[in-house]
């Protein structure tokens, strides 16, 4: 006899294993901790879900996965009993899982977590394709042992997401081809990167617009076309401002250019570096990379990351990334990241770094005379 327990209430943290059964309210479950142990279940009263046929429970689980907002929502259900585990793994459920419900943190990364994401990818979940693609390409692929299985897998996942219209995945592929990540730089890769960037621009991805705008302005990977480049940068700024305005309450939204701000004579929309808007929330894929390499760096490995904190892509070979030409300290995966980072952080830090270096050179010169 199979017994199942469904927890539709949120439990703290993934893997904490506390799922309370709320399905039979007149006779609440005595045990709050549920495990797979068969013997553990014997003698307990069956709950209401046991009377429901699989397809009904499945549709409830689909609803749950489509609205879940943390990984423990799904995982705790799958941990309740064998039946829920079987139904929770159904491709119909995994295909609908939200980005938040599959956004596993580095501290929870484990072979089962990897397997779970692979299952979501197989079920056709586009967000999972992007997330696992980035993890395979940048985190697991970067082992330096000459084994590119993870990189290849990651690329195929990103490609799958891109084919289904995922803008961020398309842009990520563009960055990979621009930098020749795992394949080396070539003119062929550069033009592939350029057409991918164009595709991501058509999908309305701000970073891609900015990257393409700078490429056209500088004639990088494509014939120089300054007016078209300027127009794309303007488009990127406009879209960024619109997104920031629609996603935040009016009171905290950035002032429109010329809207009573002290620098009203300056129009952000024409800036090379984007509008003066608060940085968007970091995407789970980027957060994963940042945390992953933070842990590695604590262990003494040195990997150079893109200085843009909203990106944190790592270099996969030495001198892969572009470096700030003024201070030669900050490095970037792309022009888009450099532009955004200059606007938000680096313009001040760079001047300070240059000033510090001048002082150092001056002091060294003085010391030689003494």
Site for Zn ion, rule CB under 5 A:
5, 21, 23, 29, 47, 306, 308, 311, 313, 324, 326-327, 333, 337, 350
Evaluate the CA torsion angle 90, 95, 101, 102 in order and state its sign. positive
Angle between helices 284-298 and 126-134 in degrees, nearest 10: 20
For Zn ion, the closer CB: 5 or 343: 5
For Zn ion, the closer CB: 21 or 121: 21
State phi, psi for 322 to the nearest 5 degrees: -80, 150
CB of 251 to Zn ion, least distance (A): 31
User: Across-strand partners of 18?
Assistant: 33
For Zn ion, the closer CB: 23 or 93: 23
CB of 100 to Zn ion, least distance (A): 23
Rounded alpha-carbon distances, angstroms, from residue 213 to 36, 83, 201: 55, 53, 10
CB of 199 to Zn ion, least distance (A): 19
CB of 83 to Zn ion, least distance (A): 10
Q: How far apart are CA 115 and CA 107, in angstroms?
A: 16
For Zn ion, the closer CB: 120 or 321: 321
CB of 311 to Zn ion, least distance (A): 3
CB of 330 to Zn ion, least distance (A): 5
What element of type H or E holds 331? strand 331-332
Among 250, 268, 249, residue whose Cα is nearest residue 258: 268
* CB contact set of 257 (below 8 Å; sequence gap of 6+): 264, 266, 267, 268, 269
Angle between helices 206-218 and 187-202 in degrees, nearest 10: 130
CB of 258 to Zn ion, least distance (A): 30
CB of 17 to Zn ion, least distance (A): 15
For Zn ion, the closer CB: 222 or 324: 324
CB of 337 to Zn ion, least distance (A): 3
Exposed / middle / buried, residue 230 (Cβ in 10 Å: 0-12, 13-18, 19+): middle
**Residue 61 DSSP SS3:** helix
For Zn ion, the closer CB: 77 or 102: 77
Residue in the block written with tokens 């979501």? 120
Answer yes or no: are the C-beta atoms of 45 and 74 closer than 8 Å.
no
For Zn ion, the closer CB: 308 or 316: 308
For Zn ion, the closer CB: 125 or 136: 136
For Zn ion, the closer CB: 257 or 284: 284
For Zn ion, the closer CB: 201 or 308: 308
Q: Would you state the structure tokens that stand for residue 83, as one six-digit string?
A: 């039946």
* CB contact set of 183 (below 8 Å; sequence gap of 6+): 189
CB of 342 to Zn ion, least distance (A): 8
Q: How far apart are CA 206 and CA 321, in angstroms?
A: 20
Q: How far apart are CA 88 and CA 77, in angstroms?
A: 7
Q: How far apart are CA 73 and CA 48, in angstroms?
A: 20
């Amino acid at each position: 006899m199979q017994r199942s327990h469904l927890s539709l209430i949120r439990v703290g943290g993934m893997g904490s294993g506390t799922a309370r059964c709320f399905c039979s309210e007149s006779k609440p479950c005595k045990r709050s901790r549920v495990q797979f142990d068969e013997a553990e279940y014997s003698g307990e009263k069956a709950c209401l879900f046991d009377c429901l046929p699989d397809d009904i429970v499945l549709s409830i689980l689909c609803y749950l996965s489509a609205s879940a907002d943390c990984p423990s929502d799904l995982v705790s259900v799958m941990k309740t009993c064998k039946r829920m585990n079987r139904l929770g793994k159904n491709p119909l459920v995994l295909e609908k899982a939200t980005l938040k419900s599959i956004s596993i943190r580095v501290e929870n990364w484990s072979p089962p977590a990897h397997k779970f994401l692979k299952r979501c990818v197989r079920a056709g979940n586009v967000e999972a394709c992007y997330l696992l693609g980035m993890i395979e390409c940048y985190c697991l692929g970067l082992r330096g042992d000459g084994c590119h299985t993870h990189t290849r897998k990651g690329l195929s996942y990103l490609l799958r997401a891109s084919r289904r219209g995922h803008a961020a995945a398309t842009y990520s592929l563009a960055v990979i081809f621009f930098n020749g990540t795992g394949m080396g730089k070539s003119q062929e890769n550069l033009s592939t990167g350029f057409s991918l960037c164009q595709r991501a621009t058509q999908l309305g991805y701000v970073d891609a617009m900015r990257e393409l705008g700078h490429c056209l302005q500088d004639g990088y990977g494509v014939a120089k076309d300054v007016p078209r480049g300027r127009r794309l940068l303007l488009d990127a700024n406009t879209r960024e401002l619109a997104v920031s305005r629609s996603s935040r309450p009016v009171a905290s939204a950035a002032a429109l250019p010329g809207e009573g701000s002290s620098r009203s004579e300056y129009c952000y929309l024409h800036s090379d570096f984007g509008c003066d808007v608060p940085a968007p929330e970091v995407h789970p894929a980027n957060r994963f990379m940042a945390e992953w390499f933070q842990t590695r760096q604590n262990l003494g490995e040195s990997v150079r990351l893109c200085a843009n904190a909203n990106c944190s892509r790592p270099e996969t070979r030495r001198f892969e990334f572009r470096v700030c030409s003024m201070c030669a300290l900050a490095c970037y995966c792309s022009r888009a990241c450099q532009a955004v980072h200059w606007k938000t952080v680096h313009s001040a830090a760079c001047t300070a770094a240059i000033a510090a270096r001048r002082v150092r050179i001056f002091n060294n010169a003085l010391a030689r005379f003494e």
